[in-house]
A and B are shown apart, each in its own frame.
Chain A
Amino acid sequence: MTKKTAFRIFLIGTISSAALFLWATYDTQRQVATLSHVDKLSDQVVAGKRAFQKYNCNDCHTILGFGGYYAPDLTKVVQRVGEEGIRYRLKSPELAFADSPRKMPNQHLSDQEIKDLVAFFSWVGEINNNDWPPQDSKKRLSRGEQMMVAKVGVSPGAAVFQTKGCMNCHSLHGTGGTFGPALDKIGASLSAEEIGKYVRNPKGVNPNAKMPSQKDNLSERELDEVASFLATLK
């Protein structure tokens, strides 16, 4: 091979790849409007993005999987902890994370900034991004759930309880979160129907409830299964 041939390889390689890349960039710009629901990208959402950048949230949390890996991903945070859950954590992180080994700074956000941030996260959660992250995916029964049902012999409801985030707030036999009450004996006071109603709309039962509705987080089947599981705990 001569130096001239080598130079030709360089030119052809670079130009062909650049052409493909630039064409795809043009096409992506076109399609992003639909994929990210630009019609819902309001000024409030943009204000939320500005607040997100102002407080450098992204150097601890990932969003769409990019950023710091020190705190949970925020792509589907609304689906996971609910709008109320976000407001609580932003307003009083020292309470929300009192028992967590990892703390979040209190940035003294204004109420307006908190509202904007919630709008921003709600918009991000709807981006059509090939169903990432897997742990928040609605489409698939997580491998953890499958294995617990098949191998460990727990009921499907118990598997849902353990893997769908209930234990971020609630505990059973001392394992789990402390935001919400321990549920070891919940079946003694509530029936499966009552629990089912509560988890679908906590505020409808108790207007002061801090717990977010699980209607968007869990499917109807999962809601029924987790309710009947909890009702057996007496």
Chain B
Amino acid sequence: MEYRSQKIAYWYFAAALPLFVLQVVVGLWLAASYTFTIPQSIVNVFPFATARAFHTNLLVLWMLLGFMGGTYYIIPEETKSEIYSTNLAWFQLIALLVTGVTALVGFLFGWTQGRPLLEIPMALDFVVVIGALVFLFNVGMTMLKAKNWTAIQGTLLGGLVFLALLYLFGIPFYRNLVIDWYYWWWVIHLWVEGAWELVTAAIFAFVLMKLTGVERQVVEKWLYVEIGLFLFTGLAGTGHHYYWIGAPRYWLWIGGIFSALEPVPILLMVFDTMHHVKERKEKIVNPLTWTYAIGCAVLHFIGAGVWGFLHTLPQINYYTHGSQVTVSHGHLAFFGAYALLNLMTFYYAMPKLKGIAEYDDRRGKIGFWTMCSSMMIMGLTFGVAGVLQSYIERVLGMGYMVAQGYMRLWMGVTMVAGVFFLGGLLTTVVDLFTLRPAKVQT
């Protein structure tokens, strides 16, 4: 830690981790709802829908907290100055947490906007917007005052502003369901395949540069190419969600072609990560942090690039759309790209924030490998269930519940893999909170 104000990042990370655990616990309940028959009396008071709103909103909340913490950690080192105001950073952390908790409790009592992933009621949306504005102001002022412009800062700020702007399209009530979904994807798709990719690329470039000691000029050159390709493919690529919503037919062409290219920048990220690691100028001090970086690049590519490509062409998407195939991809992509990115940042920053040069990574390794392998298994079992569903329900034309009958076994296996995932996650969280210096080898 070089600047005192970086310390605030710790509290963002500390807030994010328990929320991640809660997300996974609720996820196990969801898997159980597919595997067993939940009695009517429970369904009446705690429907699947409420649990799903919990699962997805917790995901977004902890990841945004992670990104913000990551940003507050990086900005001082990039700008070579303290954060503009740590008080604002505190205010904004508390505002976001209070809003998040209020929203979750509200869901239990049916206070919802009732749109998947954007369930937060409009009144709370405005608090979120205020929090976001405070955050952007704080980050922007730090950069403006320091005047040490870098491509990493620019990408980070650009991604964050884009992210906040897109959120606005999710707030209104739309009368027409077609228009509703059209702009719903401006939040969901343009977040994960646009704004979040920019934020991720910037954070990733920073950590990689610091770890490997590769020159800034080289890292930032690749950063430009990557974000250029991300936006080139990702913006028009939104069309892969407009095939079946009642939008004009040309979206089959635009969406199909552009989104089929979306894996290219992700693959490029894998290549340049490998390249930088090979050409490193620094010793590998904390191997687990490096493992996280490489794991993130590779699983980002598998989950988003490969799994995304598999169902992105209209000819295939016609049968897999809105099935467990989508779920398989959603889990692998979010985990590979954004959960691992955040955890990598935590493993990079937490030891420094605690003043540990070289940490004991034995527990952390177990956590990493348990999480990654159980998530891969979940991706496969969701995938098998999804292929069964696409074939039985959509190709053969048999009833929804008939297909669900065949899928039940696989949802059960997913639940078991989920228990292992929770084990790996708890190991990781405990490890991060209680990092110890490694014993010096003699």
Residues of A within 8 A of B (CB): 1-3, 6-7, 9-14, 16-18, 20-21, 24-25, 27-29, 31-32, 35-36, 38, 41, 46, 49-50, 52-60, 62-73, 93-94, 97, 100-106, 124, 127-130, 132-135, 142-145, 147, 162-165, 167-168
Q: Does B176 contact A (CB under 8 A)?
A: yes
Q: Are A56 and B50 in contact (CB under 8 A)?
A: yes
For the A-B complex with A101-B37, A163-B396 known, give 17 more contacts whose Cβ atoms are closer than 8 Å.
A1-B225, A6-B225, A6-B228, A9-B225, A14-B231, A24-B250, A28-B251, A46-B175, A56-B49, A56-B50, A64-B177, A65-B244, A70-B52, A101-B408, A105-B45, A129-B246, A133-B394
Contact A134 B395 (CB under 8 A): yes
B227 CB contact (under 8 Å) in A10, A102, A134: A10
Q: Verify B322–A66 contact, CB threshold 8 A.
A: yes
A59 to B247 alpha-carbon distance, docked (Å) = 23
Whether A103 contacts B318 in the complex (CB less than 8 A), given A3-B220, A17-B232, A32-B179, comes out as: no
Interface residues of B in 303-352 (CB under 8 A from A): 318-319, 321-324, 326-327
A residues near B47, Cβ cutoff 8 Å: 56, 60, 105
Partner-contacting stretch, out of B73-81, B111-119, B131-139: B111-119
Q: Bound complex: CA of A73 vs CA of B222, how far in Å?
A: 43
Interface string of B375-406 (1 = CB under 8 A from A): 00000000000000000011111111110110
B53 near A: Cβ within 8 Å?
yes
Q: A-facing mask of B224-259, CB < 8 A → 1, else 0?
A: 110111011111101100111111111110100010
For A106, give the chain B residue with the smallest CB separation: B44
Residues of B within 8 A of A64 (CB): 177-178, 181, 244-246
Known pairs A59-B50, A94-B40, A127-B246; A9 contacts B34 (CB<8 A):
no
| A41 contacts across to B, CB distance below 8 A | 175-176
Instruction: Give the CA-CA distance A145 to B398 in the complex, in Å.
Output: 10
Q: Which of A2, A65, A106 counts the most chain B CB atoms within 10 A?
A: A65
**Of B48, B235, B247, B323, the contact of A28 (CB 8 Å cutoff):** B247
Q: Given A9-B224, A41-B175: A129 and B34 within 8 A (CB)?
A: no
Q: From B229, which residue of chain A is reached at the shortest CB distance?
A: A13
Interface of A is mostly: helix
A24 touches B251 (CB 8 A): yes
The contact size tier of chain B is 35 or more
Please list 24 pairs of residues, one from A and one from B, whose beta carbons are closer than 8 Å in the complex, sorted by A's number.
Answer: A6-B222, A9-B225, A10-B228, A20-B254, A24-B236, A28-B182, A36-B177, A53-B115, A57-B114, A59-B53, A60-B47, A71-B400, A97-B40, A102-B37, A102-B401, A103-B37, A127-B246, A133-B322, A133-B394, A135-B393, A135-B397, A142-B397, A143-B396, A167-B402
With a CB–CB cut-off of 8 A, which chain B residues contact A165?
Answer: 399
Q: Complex Cα distance A15/B291, Å?
A: 36
- The interface residues of chain B lying within 8 Å CB-to-CB of A132 are 243-244, 318, 321
User: Closest Cβ of chain B: how far from A32's Cβ, in Å?
Assistant: 5
Q: Which of B115, B221, B394, B395 contacts A58 (CB 8 A)?
A: B115
List, in ascending order, chain A residues with CB within 8 A of B114's CB: 52-59
Rounded to whole Å, the gap between the CB of A21 and the closest CB of chain B is 5
Q: DSSP class of B's interface residues: helix, strand, loop or mixed? A: helix
Would you call A10 and B40 a contact (CB within 8 A)?
Answer: no
Total A-B pairs in contact (CB under 8 Å)? 236
| 8 tightest Cβ-Cβ pairs between the two chains A and B | A53-B114, A142-B397, A65-B322, A13-B232, A10-B228, A59-B49, A144-B396, A132-B244
**Shortest distance between the CB of B105 and any CB in chain A (Å):** 15
Contacts of A63 in B (CB 8 A): 177
Q: A3-B217, A35-B248 are in contact. Are A144 and B52 (CB under 8 A)?
A: no
* Neighbouring B residues of A10 by C-beta, 8 Å: 224-225, 227-228, 231
Does A69 lie within 8 Å of B228, measured CB to CB? no
User: What is the chain A residue whose CB lies nearest that of B258?
Assistant: A17
CB atoms of B52 and A18 under 8 A apart: no
Chain B positions 158 through 181: 1 when the CB is less than 8 Å from some CB of chain A, otherwise 0: 000000000000000101111101
**Residue numbers in A under 8 Å from B48 (CB-CB):** 59-60, 68, 70
**Given A24-B251, A102-B37, A168-B399, A68-B52 contact (CB < 8 Å):** yes
A14 & B228 in contact (Cβ 8 Å cutoff): yes
Check B175 against A57 for contact (C-beta < 8 Å).
no
The CA of A143 and the CA of B116, in the complex, are separated in Å by: 32
Q: Is B62 an interface residue (CB 8 A)?
A: no
Q: Which residues of A contact B243 (CB under 8 A)?
A: 130, 132
Contact assessment for A1 and B176 in the assembled complex, using a CB-CB cutoff below 8 Å: no
| Chain B stretch 396-434: residues in CB contact (< 8 A) with chain A | 396-402, 404-405, 408
Assuming the contacts A32-B178, A101-B37, asked whether A129 and B245 have C-beta atoms less than 8 A apart, the reply is yes
Q: Are B221 and A32 in contact (CB under 8 A)?
A: no
A6 to chain B, nearest CB (A): 4
A59 to B248 CA separation, bound complex (whole angstroms): 26
Do A134 and B176 have beta carbons less than 8 Å apart? no
CB closest residue in chain B, given A37: B246
Residues of B with C-beta under 8 A to A60? 47-49, 52
Separation of A56 and B173 alpha carbons in the complex (Å) = 14
- Residues of B within 8 Å of A67, CB to CB, are 116, 322
Q: Does B18 contact A (CB under 8 A)?
A: no
B386, closest chain A residue (CB)? A69
Point out which of B52, B220, B247 has the most chain A C-beta atoms below 10 A from its C-beta. B247
Collect the chain A residues with CB atoms within 8 Å of residue B176's CB. Answer: 32, 36, 38, 41
- Say yes or no for B33: interface residue by CB 8 A criterion: yes
